[in-house]
Amino acid sequence: MDENKQQTEEVEQEEVVENPEQEVVEEEANEMDEVAKLQQEKDETYQRLLRLQADYDNFRRRTQKDRENDRKYKSQSLIEELLPALDNFERALQVEAQDEKYAEGMNMVYKQLKSALEKEGLEEIPAVGEEFDPHMHQAVMQVEDENYESNVVVEELQKGYKLNDRVIRPSMVKVNQ
Amino acid sequence: MDENKQQTEEVEQEEVVENPEQEVVEEEANEMDEVAKLQQEKDETYQRLLRLQADYDNFRRRTQKDRENDRKYKSQSLIEELLPALDNFERALQVEAQDEKYAEGMNMVYKQLKSALEKEGLEEIPAVGEEFDPHMHQAVMQVEDENYESNVVVEELQKGYKLNDRVIRPSMVKVNQ
């Protein structure tokens, strides 16, 4: 649209400029100058308007994208703070309790916590038995294990997590050579 | 914007077509008209530019404010999901455990969780002994208690929380008449 308009205006301006050469009255020439000048100023203002409109549109689009992104990962900082507590919760639950009823209560609390986090988009990264993936797994050790194929995760030392599609903590793993 | 532009071009094209058919005097008058017309169009375009600039500035300001607000309360939805688990954790910890070591481990997990939430801006609302505040407290019962002043909270049935300066869950309380 922008280009077409500019072409149209150029054609019009040429005609305005050519006109005075046909008639020799000076006053008329002055007025034609004024017309040309005004036309030019009007065009310039219009071009500024178009540029500003384009800037505005771009800003609006970018802002919307940024805000969608913000929303998608808004809980990341809190979840990152909570993961060590979640790790410890899991470790604490693995201790064999002499008080089964108490342990059962704690297990329910853990599940409730975990499910609130999952609802927000938290997901455990699969590890043991998976092919080693440097985007998901952090290899802290290489081992030789006949039970697994080469380059496969044989043990998980710390759980990894994704928030929606973003890895927020890779799994710490042992990988088969 | 598009419509206005189209109008302008139509008018200009008509004149270009009419011009050759008119006499010199008329032409002069036409040129004066054209000056006035161009001046007006230029002014209108400039006014549109100013309005658009003002809109853009407003939008930018509002967006920035919105995003600051988003950031301040970004964890609210997750925290609201976590509060019932936190309540249950507290209840579970109040059960007297026969396995002290196990209970100690769970207590540490609870503290770690709580501190991650506090770091994000979560705060318990003071209740017992405070003057009843309908913005912070939800009265579920009225009692008569000589040990407290009138209109003072005498018992908390469920903890209330603020996230930064926003009450995300009022305390459920008994209030002295």
Domain boundaries, chain B: 2-72, 76-176
Cα→Cα distances B158→B38, B86, B116, B164, B174, Å:
72, 11, 21, 19, 10
Tens place of pLDDT per residue across chain A (177 aa): 444 444 444 444 444 445 545 555 666 677 678 888 889 999 999 999 999 999 999 999 999 999 998 889 999 999 999 999 999 999 999 888 788 888 899 999 999 999 999 999 999 999 999 999 999 999 999 999 888 889 999 999 999 999 998 999 999 999 998
Q: Parallel, antiparallel, or unpaired: how do β-strands B137-143 and B171-176 relate? A: parallel
- Three-state DSSP class for residue B120: coil
pLDDT value at position A10? 42
DSSP for residue A95: S
- Chain A residues 111-140 with CB within 8 Å of chain B: 112-113, 116-117, 119-120
Q: Parallel, antiparallel, or unpaired: how do β-strands B166-169 and A161-163 relate? A: unpaired
- Is B97–A95 a contact, with Cβ atoms under 8 angstroms apart? no
Could you tell me the pLDDT band of residue B24, with boundaries at 50, 70 and 90? low
Mean pLDDT calculated for residue range B33-56: 92
| Nearest of A167, A101, A107 to residue A133 by alpha carbon | A167
Distance between CA atoms of residues B12 and B143, nearest Å: 83
pLDDT value at position A87? 95
Q: Tell me how far apart the 2 most distant CA atoms of chain B are, in Å.
A: 112
- Chain A residues 9-68 with CB within 8 Å of chain B: 12, 15, 23, 28, 31-32, 34-35, 38-39, 41-42, 45-46, 48-49, 52-53, 55-56, 59-60, 63, 66-67
Cα→Cα distances A15→A28, A39, B37, B45, Å:
15, 12, 17, 23
Distance between CA atoms of residues B121 and B167, nearest Å: 11
What's chain B's average pLDDT?
Answer: 86
pLDDT value at position A145? 86
Please answer whether residues A154 and A130 qualify as being in contact, where contact means their C-beta atoms are separated by less than 8 angstroms.
no
Mean pLDDT calculated for residue range B3-18: 44
pLDDT value at position A22? 55
Q: For B129-154, what is each residue's pLDDT tens digit?
A: 999 999 999 999 999 988 888 999 99
- CA geometry: angle at B163 spanning A84 and A88, to 5°? 15
CATH of domain A76-176: 2.30.22.10
Mean pLDDT calculated for residue range B152-169: 95
Distance between CA atoms of residues B97 and B174, nearest Å: 29
| Nearest of A63, A61, A68, A48 to residue B61 by alpha carbon | A63
DSSP secondary structure of A99-162: -HHHHHHHHHHHHHHHHHHHHTTEEEPP-TTSBP-TTTEEEEEEE--TTS-TTBEEEEEE--EE
More confident call, A18 vs B92 = B92
Distance between CA atoms of residues B120 and B117, nearest Å: 5
Tell me the β-bridge partners of B137: B171
Q: Which of B5, B102, B115, B161 to mutate to test the interface with A (most CBs of A within 10 A)?
A: B102
